[in-house]
Amino acid sequence: MDSNLKRSIIIDNYQNPVNRKREDNNDKYEKINTRNVSCIDNLDLYINLKDGIISDITFEGEACVISIASTSILINKLIGKSINVALEIIDNYLKMINEEEYDETLISDLVVFDDVSKQPSRIKCATLTANGIKKYLMENK
């Protein structure tokens, strides 16, 4: 993908993220916080898992452009997927960030972050939400 296009997708997702709202009083959602892995980004993720399918994910919090945009794009991709498919998407995304072989067709839009590995300090930002959701899905498999 052309780098200008990548950039504009990231900025667009940062400025108009998908599902940026709290679901604190909705017992269908389980809340997980990402702060334990990062000193500074602090996102709450709200996951609604029903019969092995991710029926919704929302988020809120304070974080950098990469964290917010990757959260927005990722949750948009994961909503409606089964746990196993979701894990496959996340694993391929993490492989891309770690510069390993990955299946591009599985992660589509998430390829906008394929340059992140060049900025080591940003890897944590790009993987914060992915790792948080992955851990939750593994525990609830």
Q: Cα(137)–Cα(141) distance, rounded to whole angstroms? A: 6
> How far is CA 118 from its chain centroid?
19
Q: Which is nearer to other proteins, 40 or 138 (CB)?
A: 40
Asked whether the CA dihedral 10, 16, 18, 23 is positive or negative, the reply is: positive
Sign of CA dihedral 75, 60, 95, 9: positive
- Whole-number minimum distance, CB 64 to other proteins, in Å? 4
Among 18, 32, 65, 111, binds other proteins (CB under 8 A): 65
- x/- map, 98-117, other proteins, by CB under 8 A: --------------------
Closest C-alpha among 23, 9, 137 to residue 82: 137
Residue found by looking up tokens 């080591």 in the block: 120
122 touches other proteins by CB under 8 A: yes
Q: How many residues sit close enough to other proteins to count as binding (CB under 8 A)?
A: 18
Q: Which position among 43, 64, 126, 128 is part of the footprint of other proteins (CB under 8 A)?
A: 64
Quick one: which of 54, 57, 63, 110 contacts other proteins (CB under 8 A)?
A: 63
Residue 36 engages other proteins in binding (rule: CB under 8 A)? no
